[in-house]
Structure 1
Amino acid sequence: MLLTFEVIAEALRERIGSGGLKPGDALPTQAILMGEFGASSLSVQKAMALLKRDGYAISRPGKGAFVAQPDIDTDEDPGSLDGGNAPVGGTAARVEALELALAETLDQLTALRARVEALEVGVTERDR
């Protein structure tokens, strides 16, 4: 059984694969997706992060999320693509996804460091 964010991501992938959403088209807003799927904002955000990670979408700050442009210079033979089911993401979408993952990892490390420092302070105070 798919989680809500996976259902949203899969529905958008299908729309992209079928041509309902074409490269450069704006993806539905968070509010629209929340209403359409009865989902929380977190579920929609996770779905968009998944689409960006997989190269289906790219963000334009202040403008929203858009269907990614396909790579022009892929390593694969164009004839080997499976009829529109392959990610359409370009290099920019992959770079953005990696930057997002790196930022999330740095946030997690910062939070972990703060917890460790708090524990160390607690141990030091108890030793007195």
Structure 2
Amino acid sequence: MIWISATSIMVDDQAKALAFYTEKLGFIKKTDIPMGEHRWLTLVSPKEQNGVELLLEPLGFEPAKVFQKACKDAGMPYTAFEVDDVKKEYERLTGLGVEFSIPPKEAGPVMFAVLDDTCGNNIQLMQTL
């Protein structure tokens, strides 16, 4: 049997990403292991602290930088996080200064919004209606 224990998101600055993802989005730091210039730095949802870990992957590979910039410039979200109420999270996060490129919008069976994670990525918040 295979399962997902961790997934990664490329970030241009691990310390800045840690602050944004914990202080703004509400994730909890799970693992922080120094690895030379960078760290093995993972976060978890407060709802599922033993669930899938989000690795804040340092952006050190040149083709990855090109890919990240192309996604960002195209307005394409790098990943999506599920929330209970997109509109409520939008209000909470805009109150904290988070910038959104797409405010809450319905699309078929989902409501979504897209935010800037300040680390080079667009992130989609989604709610199943």
Structure number with larger C-alpha Rg: 1
Using structure 2 for the length normalisation, give the TM-score. Answer: 0.23
Using structure 1 for the length normalisation, give the TM-score. Answer: 0.23
Question: Which has more helix, going by share of residues?
Answer: 1
